Structure 1
Amino acid sequence: MEDQSLEASVPMREIKIVLYVLEDLLDELEYLGSIRNRPSRRTWKDTLFWLSSPLLLHTSLAPRLDKITRKLRNVTDRSVEICLHQRTIELPKQYMEQFGFDGSSAIIGRDHEKQDVEELLLQNKGDSLSILPIVGQPGLGKTSLARLVFEDEGEDMEFDFRVWISLDKNLSLTKIGTRIISEANNKSVKDRLPQVGKNYSLGAPFQLAHDVQEILRNSSCLIVLDNLISMNRNFLINLKELFGDKQKCAKVIVTTSSKLVAEVMRTSSSYNLGGLSEEHCWTIFSEKAFGDEDAIVDPQYTEIGKKIVRRCSGNPMLAQSLGSMVHNQGMNTWLAARDKELWELEERIFPKSTVFSSFMAIYYSMHHTLQLCFLYLSVFPRGSTIDKDELIRQWSALDLFRSERGLLSASLLGEIYTDDLLEASILEFVDASLVEMKCISSSVVLRVNNLAYDFLRHLTRDDVLHLDHGMGRNGSVGKPPFRYATLTSYSEESATDKYLVSNAKAVVFKNCEATKPIADIFPVLRNTHLLDLSGCPFEELPASIDQLKQLRYLNISGFRIRALPYEMGCLQNLEFLDLSKTCIETLPAFIGTFLKLKYLNVHGCDRLQNLPLALGDLKGLEHLNLSCCPQICKLPASFCGLRKLKRLDLSNCANLDQLPHPFQLESLENLNLEGCLRLKRLPESFGKLSFLRNLNLAGCSSMKQLPDSIAELSMLEHLSISRIHRELPDSLVKLQKLHKVDLTYCDA
């Protein structure tokens, strides 16, 4: 069976390779079109390429497209044959029994939780609907706990009928409603019941709700909706409305890993399920690992087993799976279960995807774009703190929002998807005050849940490359092409690995001291969209950077670089550029040719003195961070040409003494001038910032007064004028939307 599984994976990998090549070809065509549309901005190399483009299209791109089509047809045909062959294969029953996945095991350590759930469920004895979500991370035993409650037939748990509905990704109100009607009919709870034979899918949905509610009004019931993972709020609202609001005694338990599901479905409070004690996890593990409780166990295995249980962190499914894996196995397997990454151990477990089955259900319930955003998280090392704003920029640079392009802005889509991943218990918040702030630019810091990270590494083992050359080339090396790569301590000895990243869309270098091997790898990264060199303190950027024509995101923060090389002017697709905390002394004029640039960060460049006049040519710039640049005295006259600028951070520019006049940034929403000690006044044109919502003037100690035009900022919501010892204008009272004002240490 494993051979057949391997055989099935071969054509899938081939399909993936063909699709990667096709995607790269489309990127080339898009780049070609962008060159043709900007003749005045072309370099001489681009001009030659543009003049020869019809010939290239005919002699190169068209045959490549034909070759891709033929390859895709061939591997698709092979996939169909293998799938047809495998349809008759079933998992032998003895394997299910061997690994303990038959559902017959006793439920351990949840007696107290069972009592709590029943008390919450029975609190409301009136005629209103009671829906209690049991919420927790995958594998904690939500289904097992619900089963304990469902099977309790004690005095307080008497119902006319009970319905257990196991849900999957093919959610349907019709299936749920007809199942309730069918079960009520089977129990004969009422003389005249709606008949399940009705074709509700063809009729009005109101008829289904009417029939379900008729049953619930006249009979008491306990309904369990197990593993509800939908992220569609409208579906959840309709599902809740299916039950109505007035019943004889209807109790509904919903098991879910989604906080969104719990929030929408609950009628009072939710029950948050925590992990098991280590003692209970040991009981579960040892039952699977040693079998008969009277068996004589080698103390050495017991000691290793205790450490295996410790890594389960209270997750009973993980304890059961690891116990099953080491059952009747030798010392090597036990040591692997103790030391190896969980995503690597998954390959040893049979049947596959047992540990990650709950996460797999969540993953397949996601729509395609959210799946792509989720998979990218595996690029970050385990336990990494992730700057939320930075994550959204990286998603955008990789064009993961392509299918929804034009519907909403990338930043808004990113907010939606991070919220979805938080609600699904994939991401979790980190206290920003506990994080070293040198790499964090936003106030929201995230981290991937530990078990979710293991699932991610399992899911992306053939798509994401992790290599640590400092640990003797330690890391994951599957079969290329890899789409994302993290290379640690890359050096001269690593050059043989260049081919591994030839198809990579994102490459992240960490702790790399040597410049030359990275310069040598640039020509291979012709299709790379994202390049992060922030962990490499170089003194210069290699001239070979001009090979990365598709580059959209470049992070060279922390470099000891003093100037940007002229060759960098070829990066005409750049959208996100991070130069923060470098030793750069001036921004070159060619930066004005980056017409697609949306984000520019020069925070902490304490040697930066001059901003070029060409800065105003960045018509697409939305976010500019010039904070902590003490040598900047003034902004160029062209600055007000940044018509799409939404966020401007000039905080702690201690020598900035004035803003350009007129200061007309018509799209500006957030302006931070905190700590601009020499700034004496705001221009009268300040009132023209009609979309400004957040203004921070804290510590602008030289500011003599605020202009009367500040009253024209009709959208202003937050204003900080702390540590300003000046009288405030009466016109502030006209700001109707202003609801947060910081006057700390202010004489106003």
Structure 2
Amino acid sequence: MHDLVHDLATTLLGEEILDQSKQGYTGGSSCRFALLTDCSKPLESSTTSLAMLRALRFMDCRDCEVHGSAFCAANSLRVLDLSECLINKLPDSIGRMKQLRYINAPKIRDRMIPECITTLSKLRFLSLRGSCFILALPDSIGEIQDLVHLDLSGCSGIEELPESFGDLKSLEHLDFANCQDVIGVSQCLARFTKLQYLNLSNCENVGQLPKALGSLTELQYLNLSNSSYLSGNELDEAEFLGSLTKLKYLNLSAGGQELLDIRRLPEALGSLTELKYLNLSDQCRLRKLPTSFGNLCNLVHLDLSRCFYLRDVSAALNGLTKLQYLDLYGCSSGAHAMEGLQEVFGNLSELRHLNFGAIYRSFLYPDEINVLYLDEINVLLERICTLTNLEYLNLSQNDTMSSIPETLCNIKKLHTLDLSGCQSLHRLPDF
């Protein structure tokens, strides 16, 4: 596929592309895009007209330390991609490249970013992801006022943000994933009114849930998984989240951490009618979903796995007819929670992925209770077998389940069936 893309680009752009990975490469005087394989030596002006060069990417240089002379002479660069280089230190010479709009420089091994990067007033995209050795951002980071995309995911050494960070008012994409110790984000949020993407997953010290989050009305992606924003009972009353009406992705997973367990979700959740992805996995204390949950009629992906005490699941799912992915693994308040699912499954004709594992387990109920639910299990399985679009079905750890209906063979698209841990199973369909 890479060769096809390269050949197409060469056909369209001709001598405007310089690709050192190809034998017999040449560069014309009008070369604008360069794909180079050595980031340790100066870019030769004899190879191409450096004044014309607009985009530069180094490929397969992970064992080669990047040197400032490899690109600093190309003063007209708009795009600099160092994602496949070994970056011990981001060269100070980068501050002379005043036309830069895009810098991709992950996994920097130095403790500091050169202050001169803040003089790149036209910079719109900056990715420093995975730079776990960086201890701080430049004090004047806020001077890059046109910055739209900032990826600091995995920069786990950063603790405090500079005061000027809140001046980045043009930000639309902000990623702090896995910055466990970072603080000060909440104080800036109210100023980031253009944000469309915010990832604070695994930010364990980011503070308590701020009302300022409700002012980010352009948000489409919000990931708070394992974030300290989920701690305490603040989310219970966070009705201001209902103002995030453009949200399409929401992750509130607790990751098995008890301190992040949500006891209740705000009724305002039902206002997020554009939501397509919702992850509530590992919310062990969550017992009931909001009555407004059925308003989420555009949900495609719903993860309720290991919500052990969740009840009235069928009532919450009623009306979510666009679901393609549904994970109910371990919702083992079990038979009570699953009452009425026969009818619900009849309306989920778009389902592709269904995880129904560890729902009916013998240790949860006395034997006499288990017997009462055998008929219900069979009826429910028959209903599941009418979901003809299913491609993945997990029925594992249901150790009271004794048989699988013959109608399972009607699911022609099914490619994965997990029956592990079904100890009472004695009969399978004739596949």
Q: Report the counterpart of residue 278 of structure 2 in structure 1.
A: 624
Which residue identity lines up with residue 649 of structure 1 in the other structure? D
**Secondary structure of the equivalent of 2:190?**
helix
- Once the two structures are superposed, residues 481-521 of structure 1 have per-residue CA deviations (whole angstroms, 9 ceiling, x without a partner) of 111123563637x213431x21111012323533341x531
Residue 328 of structure 2 corresponds to residue 690 of structure 1: no
Distance 1:341 1:480, change over 3 A: farther
Which residue identity lines up with residue 596 of structure 1 in the other structure? K
Which residue identity lines up with residue 187 of structure 2 in the other structure? A
Q: Report the counterpart of residue 558 of structure 1 in structure 2.
A: 202
Q: Report the counterpart of residue 582 of structure 1 in structure 2.
A: 227
Structure 1 residue corresponding to 2:248, chosen from 589, 598, 602: 598
Residues 392 and 414 in structure 2, CA contact (< 8 A), matched pair in contact too: yes
Residue 287 of structure 2 corresponds to residue 633 of structure 1: yes
Residue 160 of structure 2 corresponds to residue 529 of structure 1: no
Residues 148 and 171 in structure 2, CA contact (< 8 A), matched pair in contact too: yes
Distance 1:567 1:479, change over 3 A: closer
Q: Report the counterpart of residue 418 of structure 2 in structure 1.
A: 742
Residues 687 and 712 in structure 1, CA contact (< 8 A), matched pair in contact too: yes
Q: Report the counterpart of residue 111 of structure 2 in structure 1.
A: 471
- Once the two structures are superposed, residues 558-584 of structure 1 have per-residue CA deviations (whole angstroms, 9 ceiling, x without a partner) of 122463101111100000001011231
Residues 361 and 397 in structure 2, CA contact (< 8 A), matched pair in contact too: no
Distance 1:731 1:472, change over 3 A: closer
**Partners of 1:532 and 1:497 in 2: how far apart?**
16
Residue 323 of structure 2 corresponds to residue 668 of structure 1: yes
Residue 161 of structure 2 corresponds to residue 485 of structure 1: no
Distance apart, 1:695 and its partner CA? 0.6
- Once the two structures are superposed, residues 621-672 of structure 1 have per-residue CA deviations (whole angstroms, 9 ceiling, x without a partner) of 0011112222222222221111100011122223334414162211100111
**Partners of 1:689 and 1:652 in 2: how far apart?**
21
Residues 304 and 328 in structure 2, CA contact (< 8 A), matched pair in contact too: yes
Unaligned runs of 5+ in 1: 1-132, 144-165, 172-225, 230-256, 258-311, 322-339, 361-374, 385-458
Distance 1:497 1:635, change over 3 A: closer
**Partners of 2:356 and 2:307 in 1: how far apart?**
12
Q: Report the counterpart of residue 100 of structure 2 in structure 1.
A: 462
Structure 1 residue corresponding to 2:395, chosen from 712, 721, 725: 721
Normalising by structure 2, we get a TM-score of 0.65
**Secondary structure of the equivalent of 2:175?**
strand
- Once the two structures are superposed, residues 414-462 of structure 1 have per-residue CA deviations (whole angstroms, 9 ceiling, x without a partner) of xxxxxxxxxxxxxxxxxxxxxxxxxxxxxxxxxxxxxxxxxxxxx9982
Distance 1:135 1:462, change over 3 A: closer
**Partners of 1:635 and 1:742 in 2: how far apart?**
28
Aligned-pair Cα RMSD in Å: 4.4
Residues 688 and 713 in structure 1, CA contact (< 8 A), matched pair in contact too: no
Distance 1:480 1:341, change over 3 A: farther
Distance apart, 1:619 and its partner CA? 0.3
Distance 1:382 1:668, change over 3 A: farther
Task: Report 1:62-211 matches (<5 A).
Answer: 168-170=10-12
Which residue identity lines up with residue 390 of structure 2 in the other structure? L
**Secondary structure of the equivalent of 2:393?**
strand
**Partners of 2:79 and 2:307 in 1: how far apart?**
36
Which residue identity lines up with residue 626 of structure 1 in the other structure? L
Residues 687 and 711 in structure 1, CA contact (< 8 A), matched pair in contact too: no
**Partners of 1:134 and 1:643 in 2: how far apart?**
39
Percent identity reads 25
Residues 193 and 215 in structure 2, CA contact (< 8 A), matched pair in contact too: yes
**Partners of 2:300 and 2:79 in 1: how far apart?**
27
**Partners of 1:687 and 1:376 in 2: how far apart?**
52
Paired positions, count: 339
Residues 310 and 333 in structure 2, CA contact (< 8 A), matched pair in contact too: yes
Q: Report the counterpart of residue 702 of structure 1 in structure 2.
A: 361
**Partners of 2:161 and 2:268 in 1: how far apart?**
32
Which residue identity lines up with residue 349 of structure 2 in the other structure? S
Q: Report the counterpart of residue 43 of structure 2 in structure 1.
A: 347
**Partners of 1:597 and 1:134 in 2: how far apart?**
34
Normalising by structure 1, we get a TM-score of 0.40
- Once the two structures are superposed, residues 159-190 of structure 1 have per-residue CA deviations (whole angstroms, 9 ceiling, x without a partner) of xxxxxxx994249xxxxxxxxxxxxxxxxxxx
Task: Report 1:505-516 matches (<5 A).
Answer: 505-509=148-152, 510-516=155-161
**Partners of 2:218 and 2:195 in 1: how far apart?**
6
Unaligned runs of 5+ in 2: 27-35, 57-77, 88-96, 363-372
Q: Report the counterpart of residue 251 of structure 1 in structure 2.
A: none
Residues 504 and 528 in structure 1, CA contact (< 8 A), matched pair in contact too: yes
**Secondary structure of the equivalent of 2:225?**
coil
Residues 124 and 149 in structure 2, CA contact (< 8 A), matched pair in contact too: yes
Distance apart, 1:544 and its partner CA? 2.5
**Partners of 1:642 and 1:627 in 2: how far apart?**
17
Residues 308 and 332 in structure 2, CA contact (< 8 A), matched pair in contact too: yes
